Amino acid sequence: MAEKSIVFFDIDGTLLTEEKKLPASTREAIFTLKEQGHEVAIATGRAPFMFEDIRNELEINTFVSYNGQFVVLNGEVIYTNPLNISSLEKLTEEALQKKHPIVFMDHEDMKANVPEHSYIRESIDTLKIEQFPTHDPDYYKDRDLYQTLLFCPEGEERYYESKYQDFDFIRWHPVSVDLLPKGGSKAKGIEKIVEKLGIPKEKQYAFGDGLNDIEMLRSISNSVAMGNGKEEVKVAAKYVTKSVEDDGILHGLRMLELL
């Protein structure tokens, strides 16, 4: 097992282009990695139901979803880290007063606490997924939630950050913020997988481009930022590859001498 490497890939801006396309070179590179006996996994902020098609296409059964809050190894759930519901209820009440909608998310579905809102449509549409949140303001009750989306203009999340200490807030869109359990991250989720597999640090690799990838890239010994990534992401990584549209995954894997 020690000879085997594991490579974690973010999805948006890493596996997929801005148009949500999977480059042919990326697909070929991932299957070559697997043929060589390496473990290939996904590490994303998306919900499991938001990337089932990618998992099926790439035949990947190990993933870190919800930025580390719902972790699956070879098709089996091995770790979950749900949100504090009492704190979420208070935040939701206050957000409603400020006309900031919320989308509640568990491992199977997502529900909005308002019937409709332009911010929800604007941000979710960029993911180019089939699912869209329907209305259920009580969806947070009697179930575990692993992430919530707070919809507000840039900067307005700072009020919630100062008041709600049970959560971390990570912006992923100009009008939307991921709301996570405090201290939760892709890095924490990855730890659960590599511990189970017994793969040492020097055999761990990760590719990412966004703000929610920073802790992952800092914690993984062989980390790679995409050329299209934000500057603070590139600073966090050990290496920088080309952009996703310019065969960045293939280039990065060759740079790491995994291919």
pLDDT digits (tens, 9 = 90+) for 6-30: 999 999 999 999 999 999 999 999 9
Instruction: Provide the pLDDT for residue 181.
Output: 96
Q: Which of 10, 12, 168, 209 is catalytic?
A: 10
Q: 109-155 pLDDT, tens per residue?
A: 999 999 999 999 999 999 888 889 999 999 999 899 999 999 999 99
Q: How confident is the model at residue 3 (pLDDT cuts 50, 70, 90)?
A: confident
- Which range has the worst mean pLDDT, 1-5, 54-58, 113-117, 195-199? 1-5
Q: Which of 102, 79, 82 is nearest to 90 (CA)?
A: 102
Percentage of residues in the chain having pLDDT higher than 70: 99
Going from the N-terminus, what domains does the chain have, and what CATH number goes with each? 6-80+184-255 (3.40.50.1000), 85-181 (3.30.1240.10)
Instruction: Provide the pLDDT for residue 2.
Output: 39
**136 noted as active-site residue:** no
129 vs 244: which has the higher pLDDT? 244
- Which range has the worst mean pLDDT, 62-71, 124-133, 196-205, 234-243? 124-133
What gap in Å lies between CA 220 and CA 211, rounded to an integer?
Answer: 15
What gap in Å lies between CA 95 and CA 89, rounded to an integer?
Answer: 10
32: left (phi over 0), alpha (psi -120 to 50) or beta: alpha
DSSP letter, residue 232: H
DSSP letter, residue 50: G
Q: How confident is the model at residue 103 (pLDDT cuts 50, 70, 90)?
A: very high
pLDDT at 84 over 90: yes
241-253 average pLDDT score: 98
Neighbours of 147 (CB within 10 A): 27
Instruction: Provide the pLDDT for residue 39.
Output: 97
Q: 211-236 pLDDT, tens per residue?
A: 899 999 999 999 999 999 999 999 99
